[in-house]
Structures are given as C-alpha cells and as structure tokens.
Structure 1
Amino acid sequence: MINSKPVESAEKLGCDASPSECAIQAVPVERDEHGFWTHPQYPHFWDEGTTSSEINAWFSARGLQSQVTEYEYDAPDDLQAIWMETGTPACSLWQPTEPSGSGWFIFSLHDTERGPVCVWVRQKPLSDEKEAR
C-alpha cells in the first residue's frame, strides 16, 4: 500500500556514495497532486530514448528485478472513465496492483507516452541468482 510520508534523500538514507552506487531500498512514497512520485535513486539520465534492455541491465547490475503496472490495464473502471472523459488520468486515486511475490516496492509512478505506469522493484530472489550462475 502507498503511504504519504516525506521521501528521504540518498544522503539521509545512510549512503555516502552516489545514489546509483547505494543499495536501493524502499522509502516512503509521497505522491504529488497528480499522483506521481519517483524514488530518490531513480536514474536522472533515463529518458524516452532509454531502451528496455538498458533499464533491465541497470536493475540487474544492482541485484534488482522490476515489473511495470500500467494504469490503462490496472486502474478501476471509474478511474478509466475519468481518463476517457477528460483526457487526464486520475492517478492520485489509483492504487497500483502490487506484483505477485514478496518484497516489491514502488520505484516510480510516472506518465509515459502510453499513459501512467507504476514501476515496482525488489531484490532478486535467491532462486533467480542461482539460475543466473
């Protein structure tokens, strides 16, 4: 579930290195008036040109796996109706469905060309690490 507490900076999370070198962990999510939020360690260099392969490699290098929940396929019908009527997604009311399994936390709630998404991440399960070897 998403809570509403202030987001801590990487420095306050006990990391002396740059945010990209810190272990990425869950932090409290405080959504803006549009319902969006981004983890303080979200890569500032990602943009529309960043490929899925690059994103997956970045997560993998940090021992994480990710999964995306799309507003279009996840938001309830009443929120979908608001989006269709106004052209503006009702993201502040959307509670993205957490992927199955344990340990997932929100890394970003943001808009894309295809509509809003929620990026979930978690530490790679031990079974994935064994399979990768």
Structure 2
Amino acid sequence: MPEEKLIEPAEVVRDEHGYWYHPDIPDFDEDAEAWKAWLAVQGLTAVGWHMDSDLDSHPYWEDGEAHCLGWEPETPQAYNWFLLGIFDTDDGPYVQWATREVQL
C-alpha cells in the first residue's frame, strides 16, 4: 500500500464568491466517518466556525447573496494552523483550519 501523502499548507486564492477549498483534500462525498479517518491518518486536528460568529451582518443573510466576500477569518492563535477551506454549508459560510498535532 502506498504511503499517505501528508497535506501541507497551500496558496489560498479565493474564488469570485470568496470560497476556497484545499486542493489536496480527497472527495469524501459528505462521508463524515471517512473525513474523520483521513484527519487521523494525516495527524491533523481541525477547527472551524461559521461566518456569523465573526460578522453581525452581511449581504449573505440580508440580501440572500451567495457569497462571503468581505469575510476574512483570522488564523487560530496557536502556532502552525493552515487553511483547509472556506465553503458554504446549510448553515452558511464556514471556515476550517488544521494543524498537525502528531509527527508522522
């Protein structure tokens, strides 16, 4: 079996709607268990939050816009976090960060 390639930080170039997804994340087709297993193999801890945690108002909610432009989520305070994605969910735009806790 080939060795799992460890995901690394990537250049973030958000699309015209403000979204971005790390290019090295496999497609899990919304399979939460496969996602958790991949994080474990990668030795990653992930954290995230919705845009409404950072902003009180935004055209996304007020005007039904489909973008998160103007939202600049801050990197978590701890050392060595990198962006996994900024994407839309059923509950609105979401940001997710990761850090490698386990040295593989």
| TM-score normalised by structure 2 residue count | 0.83
Match of residue 38 from structure 1: 21
- Output the amino acid matched with 2:7: I
Q: How far apart are 1:99 and its partner, in Å?
A: 2.0
Matches of 2:64 and 2:7, distance apart in 1: 34
Q: How far apart are 1:115 and its partner, in Å?
A: 0.8
Distance 1:121 1:73, change over 3 A: same
Secondary structure, aligned partner of 1:55: helix
Contact 2:17 2:67 in 1 (8 A): yes
Larger Rg over CA atoms: 1
Is the counterpart of residue 84 in structure 1 residue 61 in structure 2?
yes
Secondary structure, aligned partner of 1:103: coil
| Aligned positions of 1:1-133 closer than 5 A | 21-47=4-30, 50-51=31-32, 53-74=33-54, 76-77=55-56, 80-88=57-65, 90-124=67-101
Q: How far apart are 1:125 and its partner, in Å?
A: 5.8
- Output the amino acid matched with 1:87: G
| % identical aligned pairs | 31
Q: Tell me how large the CA RMSD over aligned residues is.
A: 2.4
Of Structure 1 and Structure 2, the greater strand share is in 2
Of Structure 1 and Structure 2, the greater helix share is in 1
| TM-score normalised by structure 1 residue count | 0.67
Q: How far apart are 1:120 and its partner, in Å?
A: 0.4
Q: How far apart are 1:35 and its partner, in Å?
A: 0.4
Aligned residues: 103
Q: How far apart are 1:105 and its partner, in Å?
A: 0.8
Cα shift readout 1:33-60 (whole Å, capped 9, x = no counterpart)? 000011111121332xx22x44233211
Runs of 4+ in 1 over 3 A off after TM superposition: none
Contact 1:39 1:107 in 2 (8 A): yes
Distance 1:110 1:81, change over 3 A: closer
Q: How far apart are 1:89 and its partner, in Å?
A: 5.4
| Consecutive unaligned residues in structure 1, runs of 5 or more | 1-16, 127-133
